[in-house]
Structure 1
Amino acid sequence: MTTLEDLLKIPRFSDLKLLTNPRNADTIVESIEISETPDVANFIPKKIFLLTTAMVYKNNQKELITLIDSLKEQEAAGIGIKVGRFIETIDPAIIDYANQIDFPIVLVPSTQPLGALLHQLLNYLWDTKTEQLSYALDIQKRFSDLLIHDVSIARFIADFGKMINTPVILLSPYRKVIAHSKHFTQTSKPAEYYVEQLVNKYDNWNEDSHASFMIKDLNQESLQIAGFSVTVNSYFPHYLLILNPQQVPYPMSEFAVEQACLVLSFMLYKNQKVQESLDFLKSDFLAQLIEYQQTPHQSRRDWLDLGTNYGLKKSTQYQVVYAVCSQTTTTATKIKYQQEESDVAFQWLLETLPPRIKHISIFKVKNTNHLAILIQSKVDDLENILTELSLELSKKLPITLTFALGNLYESVEQIANSFIEAKTAYEEMLTMTNGSLTHRYHPKGMKSLFEKMSLEDIHYFCETTLKELAYPVEDSFIELRKTLQCYLSFQCEISKTAKEMYLHRNTIKYRIDHCAKLLGKSIQDPTNSLNLRLALELSERSNQHQ
């Protein structure tokens, strides 16, 4: 990458004189052209340094302003005007105007033939690019060797930092240091120190795919950092930071850095796909667990043994939290964005939750962009922890995580109950306007059950209301259910129930007392009585549809 300033510093071009402000000479020069055509800007690519005798402007130099404007719009590197043939001197007004728009003008002396100058300038540019390309290809070969040997990302970053002899840092989409070169082990500050400075000083630094920043080093002196996007996802890239890029040995080119970014993209993508296959198995396990536990008359399974590889642990405290990324009007229709957003949030929770909550396992909910967090320990300040995590993530990325909490259960066989409650709480959050990041499940009444008669809700309501009497298979529980149903239909009158069932009233009383003990609630209570009657009816109907 050669600038006009670089060219003018070369001894063989010492007779070229910059007429405009020196600070405007940092434009990049990719090629050289000679032209006397006034509309040449329409036919040249960007970053061209134009050589001309200004022949057509010898009687009216002010028309050069139009040419300069067109070149500026085309992002030309500058213009070199040869004097002494058609123009003796360049009008100061033209130079003043060029300074106003930050466009460099170079004076070419009459002793310098434009054809020879063009040849010399192009030779220099071509030699430089050849050297850069050769160096970049050498680095590419070294990168290929690393890929063939399947080295880790940490090893790759360490080797890359060694190649260019300057500190290198790789960041996750939410700016966590994934890997860094060996340079930081010899300083008193870790890589995170420089990243923190960068984030604090440049709030929107991650919006550019290639940018340069200035921060302070350990001695409070200016330190330059070059940042490059490493694209694995379309919306949430990783970042490669190079400290002191100006000290990278010549001819380290931008192309070589791009090669490093390309290799990193491949490595990160490969790791992501491997992880996705493991996450799919985990999601499938959760789906089977929920479905199985919500199906009546199933034989008991050892879920702890089946779920060992997925983080299930023996506990007396099981709770499910349903996590979802809130959507805006802009992102609501972007399916790819929602998927990537969920993946980033999933990774964020995997890294930030375990240090704060013991014994957790995080699942991707099958066929959705939602997440399920299984907590296997009692957490008193759970809502505060989840709120803090959501706020921390939203400060780093435009992602807002919301959490819906199911109730706490004592056995692994009741995980499905907590999951259904958490999912129901999430659905309730969709209708809320208070902006809360967390919401707990509140038991449903009969009205909501009538409004939404999904099989999942019916099974949950019946089993939590009737327990063993919901879908009984043992004769004793079947008889208790019949007695309870008859007792409720006769408005809780023992004598009428006994007469209807041809049983002694003491037998009915014993059975009703047994039911009350089994259900853990007073059957005569009006609310309980209504819920029990509804659950009996719903469980009978749903059982017929199995």
Structure 2
Amino acid sequence: MKLVELLDLPVFNGTALIAGKQGVEREVNTVNMMDAPDIIHFLKKDELLITTAFHFKDDFNSLLELIKEMEKQGCSGLGIKTKRFLQEVPGAVISLANELNFPLLELPVQTSLGDIVHKSLSYILDIRTNELHQAMQTHQQFTNHVISGQGIHKLLDSLSSLIDLPVVLLNHHLQPVSKHGHHSSLFESLETLSASGQSFYLPETTMSAFSLRNETRETISLFPIYTHQQSSYLGVFGFIPLSNRSMILTIEQATNVLAFELMKENALKQNTRRIQNEFFTNFMNGAFSTTEEIISRGKEFGLENEQKYVCAVGQLNDETKTVSFMQYQSEQELIYNTIESELQRFHEKIHFFTMDQSYVLLMQPNGGWKEVEQPFLSLLKAIQTKISTYFQEDLSFGISHYAEQLIYVPLSYKEATDALYYGNMSGKKQFIKSYQPKEVPEILRMVPYDQLKKFYTDTFQAFANESKKDHQVLLHTLSVFLETHCQLSETAKRLYVHRNTVIYRLEKCEEIIGRSLKEPDETLRLRLAFRIKALLQGNSDPAQT
């Protein structure tokens, strides 16, 4: 309670506040009576000392030092019973107390110091008992909300009514679980603070709180809710002073009940996630034998067959971190929660799964891809930024083509993982890569260099017996012939030679390789060899040597 409230007790009748009037709002947790010379070593914070000043009647300097030390320790004030050993409080003492805003009381001679201590402590204890009783009732009320299945939102509404201030539940990134529109600017300030990458660890006190005021002078007080994970926060719209013990106890009871409810909800959520991920893993691995089974099981998780899907697969970089298994599991859960929180803001429905240490986003676009492409890419970039800021991890995504129906989602998943693979092969980090159908040169680049070179050498080694000039002419003619889809007239036109010349050269090529150019397998082999030659030489023109 405050000192000014304590002075209203009848036992303080006749007491005069002779200095430090601006300090009457100080908290008083206990009242002590001592006259020992080393009295300062036994005092505590928020303690009011009353004394006859017997040891200071001839040593005013010691009294000055006592007041200085009491101010340093955060004591509530000093009451001196005058007209006994000290006829009046010296002016220097009053001046010092005023300078420090330290309350200095002049107690009446007729009042017993023992009565002051006894009645003051009795009054303080009565208040603490009432506060404890109220806290127990509040805790029981909040517990009943949870036991009856009314949930967290009902509990928050009840707390808001008790303290007459709006409240909101925030996650560990200061993102609201439910928003109140008239405080939107304050939420923007919270999100800005959260996006700065700061960690929010509050001081270890009886009531840990963090207050934020934005440019419009709105204030929110944050109270940590300790669970097995990183803390969530209970936000109260308004400044809650430490001296308001009744409100603080009420809020503390709410945070205690909320902690258990959040842990219960998390356990249920974890079980739901496990079931969803098992279904998705079995679906991708072809564990369902019929289309009907896929459609039936998909409906259990809100997946309709006659619906388009776009699959995005995300993975963290593969750099190993020296953390324990429990730390790894905890971080993965927090990353999952962060991604899930961002997905809830997106205007299209997105199903979220995990598989093989990948984060799988299955979006159901209502319109065409062009309408949702940029918003979806912006969402993925926002997720990357959050993961990088909060966890110092690089998250990359591969995106598939449309799956026209649910039964084709495994193909989309493979496309997304392929896009992710080729993005990683390029050496990039924190990228977003869409799946592209593979061109022949891309496929050839996947074959080891030595094997490509051997295939090329084996195909064209028969031409090595010809002179260098004939070698070049024959291969160039053969290349153009194949590129023109084996059209003699078009080949002659491009080479600026007579049609018969082309026929002669091609017959010469058939003689050298010992096979007909009309055989599809042979023309395919020669086409691939020319493509490989361009790769080996870094030349875009396969006919040029």
**Same fold per TM (> 0.5)?**
yes
Displacement of 1:92? 3.6
Is 1:350 the equivalent of 2:338? Answer: no
Query: Tell me, what secondary structure is at the counterpart of 2:373?
Result: coil
Alignment partners' CA distance in 2, 1:50 and 1:326 = 64
For residue 440 of structure 1, what is the aligned residue in structure 2? 433
Matches within 5 A, 1:334-413: 335=328, 338-339=331-332, 341-353=334-346, 355=347, 358-365=348-355, 371-375=359-363, 378=369, 379-381=372-374, 382-388=376-382, 393=386, 398=390, 402-409=394-401, 411-413=408-410
Of all paired residues, the percent bearing the same amino acid is 19
User: In the alignment, residue 526 of structure 1 is paired with which amino acid?
Assistant: I
Is 1:256 the equivalent of 2:250? Answer: yes
* TM-score normalized with structure 1 length: 0.66
Query: Tell me, what secondary structure is at the counterpart of 1:240?
Result: strand
Alignment partners' CA distance in 2, 1:40 and 1:394 = 56
User: In the alignment, residue 276 of structure 1 is paired with which amino acid?
Assistant: Q
Alignment partners' CA distance in 2, 1:69 and 1:400 = 48
Change (3 A) 1:235 1:43: farther
For residue 149 of structure 1, what is the aligned residue in structure 2? 148
Alignment partners' CA distance in 1, 2:19 and 2:47 = 18
Alignment partners' CA distance in 2, 1:237 and 1:150 = 21
Change (3 A) 1:205 1:101: farther
For residue 229 of structure 1, what is the aligned residue in structure 2? 224
For residue 531 of structure 2, what is the aligned residue in structure 1? 525
Alignment partners' CA distance in 1, 2:422 and 2:225 = 38
Query: Tell me, what secondary structure is at the counterpart of 1:228?
Result: strand
Query: Tell me, what secondary structure is at the counterpart of 1:320?
Result: strand
For residue 320 of structure 1, what is the aligned residue in structure 2? 312
Q: 2:272 aligns with which of 256, 275, 278?
A: 278
User: In the alignment, residue 263 of structure 2 is paired with which amino acid?
Assistant: Y
Change (3 A) 1:82 1:359: same
With 141-150 and 59-68 compared, the bigger mean Cα shift is at 59-68
User: In the alignment, residue 114 of structure 2 is paired with which amino acid?
Assistant: G
Query: Tell me, what secondary structure is at the counterpart of 1:49?
Result: strand
* TM-score normalized with structure 2 length: 0.66
**What stretches of structure 1 of length at least 5 have no aligned partner?**
450-460, 467-483, 496-503, 531-546
Change (3 A) 1:164 1:509: same
User: In the alignment, residue 371 of structure 1 is paired with which amino acid?
Assistant: Y
Coordinate RMSD, CA, aligned: 5.1
Q: Any conservation in 1 of the 2:52–2:81 contact (CA below 8 Å)?
A: yes
Is 1:190 the equivalent of 2:182? Answer: yes
Q: Any conservation in 2 of the 1:135–1:251 contact (CA below 8 Å)?
A: no
For residue 263 of structure 2, what is the aligned residue in structure 1? 269
Alignment partners' CA distance in 2, 1:48 and 1:390 = 52
For residue 76 of structure 1, what is the aligned residue in structure 2? 75
Matches within 5 A, 1:6-25: 6-10=5-9, 12-25=11-24
Change (3 A) 1:32 1:311: same
Query: Tell me, what secondary structure is at the counterpart of 1:267?
Result: helix
Q: Any conservation in 2 of the 1:20–1:104 contact (CA below 8 Å)?
A: yes
For residue 511 of structure 2, what is the aligned residue in structure 1? none
Alignment partners' CA distance in 2, 1:365 and 1:28 = 56
Matches within 5 A, 1:273-312: 273-288=267-282, 292=285, 306-310=297-301
With 125-134 and 93-102 compared, the bigger mean Cα shift is at 93-102
User: In the alignment, residue 532 of structure 2 is paired with which amino acid?
Assistant: P
For residue 417 of structure 2, what is the aligned residue in structure 1? 420
Query: Tell me, what secondary structure is at the counterpart of 2:7?
Result: helix
Q: Any conservation in 2 of the 1:20–1:99 contact (CA below 8 Å)?
A: yes
Alignment partners' CA distance in 2, 1:133 and 1:407 = 57
Q: Any conservation in 2 of the 1:157–1:168 contact (CA below 8 Å)?
A: yes
Displacement of 1:149? 0.7
For residue 495 of structure 2, what is the aligned residue in structure 1? none
1:270-310 CA distances to partner (integer Å, 9 max, x unpaired)?
111211111223334445556x37x9xx9888766554545
Query: Tell me, what secondary structure is at the counterpart of 2:343?
Result: helix
Q: Any conservation in 2 of the 1:425–1:441 contact (CA below 8 Å)?
A: no
With 127-136 and 14-23 compared, the bigger mean Cα shift is at 14-23
Q: Any conservation in 2 of the 1:33–1:49 contact (CA below 8 Å)?
A: yes
Rg bigger for which structure? Answer: 2
Alignment partners' CA distance in 2, 1:430 and 1:74 = 60
**What stretches of structure 2 of length at least 5 have no aligned partner?**
203-207, 403-407, 464-513, 537-545
Displacement of 1:235? 3.2
Q: Any conservation in 1 of the 2:400–2:435 contact (CA below 8 Å)?
A: no
Displacement of 1:116? 0.7
Displacement of 1:151? 1.1
Matches within 5 A, 1:27-42: 27-42=26-41
With 28-37 and 314-323 compared, the bigger mean Cα shift is at 314-323
Matches within 5 A, 1:165-244: 165-179=164-178, 190-192=182-184, 195-196=187-188, 208=202, 209-211=208-210, 226-232=221-227, 234-241=229-236, 243=238
Alignment partners' CA distance in 2, 1:338 and 1:318 = 27
Alignment partners' CA distance in 2, 1:104 and 1:320 = 67
